[in-house]
Amino acid sequence: MKRFITVAGNIGAGKSSLVRRLSHRLRWQPFYEPESNNPYLADFYQDMSAWGFHSQVYFLAHRLRVYRELSDCPDSVILDRSLYEDAEIFARNLYQRGFIQRRDHETYEALYLSLLSFLPTPDLVVYLRASVDTLAERIRQRARDYERAIDMDYLAQLNQAYEEWVSNFSVCPVLIVPADNLDFVSQPRHMDLILTKVQEKLSGKDEVVFLPDEFSGG
């Protein structure tokens, strides 16, 4: 049976790294977010009011193409960030902060709701929860030029939006992973635990939320 997982989380949370490792372990097809291909992104971080709407429409258009590809894929798939996050976290946060005007947001929201009516629903959302300090350090380590202008207050706003979103999300089960307290890149037992929890969730077992003390030690 074909399954569909999406990995959610703020900028720098480790989504792409987890998608890569989960797809390898499960032998599923990964689909990644093309951040570096967004022609508006560098301008957006310099001036969110001028480029917020343009950047979000670009991501929406790309996300539609990706959903078409994963729908046509015969194998189980893992998606790096979902359409839900684009609209219900990033675009909504920009609108609430005054960086996207009302009429532009209403146009965007209408497109988003239309897409929801025919796009596939994930079987599981894996949410990487990370503090602003962790996000900032990981953003610094990957050294993308266009991310140097990211403000820490912006990351904090997105974190708050993610917490509100995940607490009200009911489309499918959610697995919460505390990204501050694990290193699934270099600690095999952490990756093993994530994989086990993912498989438990997909098998229909009760919701499991990772606790920080599960990752104490090396």
Give the list of residues 6+ apart from residue 51 with CB closer than 8 angstroms, or none. 40, 43, 44
DSSP H or E segment with residue 175: strand 174-178
pLDDT, tens digit (0-9, with 9 covering 90-100), for 88-103: 999 999 999 999 999 9
From residue 153, alpha-carbon distances to 87, 90, 102, 157, 173 in Å are: 20, 14, 22, 6, 29
Domain 4-215 falls in which CATH fold? Rossmann fold (3.40.50)
Q: pLDDT tier at 181 (50, 70, 90 boundaries)? A: confident
* Sign of the dihedral through C-alpha 201, 171, 82, 121: positive
Mean per-residue pLDDT, 62-74? 90
Q: How confident is the model at residue 135 (pLDDT cuts 50, 70, 90)?
A: very high
Predicted pLDDT at 35: 62
Radius of gyration of the chain from its Cα atoms, rounded to whole angstroms: 17
pLDDT at 141: 85
- The structure's pTM equals 0.89
| Nearest-angstrom CA–CA distance, 120 and 146 | 32
Q: In this model, does residue 216 exceed pLDDT 80?
A: no
Contact 6, 172 (CB under 8 A): no
Tell me the two tokens of residue 91.
């675009």
Instruction: Give per-residue pLDDT as tens, 13-67.
Output: 999 999 999 999 999 999 987 665 788 988 998 999 999 999 999 989 888 889 9
Give 211's pLDDT tier (boundaries 50, 70, 90).
very low
Q: Which of 43, 80, 133, 192 is catalytic?
A: 80
Vertex 82: Cα angle to 15 and 200 (nearest 5) = 65
In one-letter notation, the amino acid at residue 117 is: S
Amino acid at 204: G
Predicted pLDDT at 42: 86
CA proximity to 10, closest of 37, 36, 35: 35
Q: Are 123 and 172 in contact (CB under 8 A)?
A: yes
Active site residue 80: yes
User: Could you tell me the residue ranges of all domains in the chain?
Assistant: 4-215
Helix residue ranges per DSSP H, the chain = 15-26, 41-46, 48-72, 83-85, 92-96, 102-116, 132-142, 152-168, 188-202
Task: Supply the pLDDT for residue 173.
Answer: 93
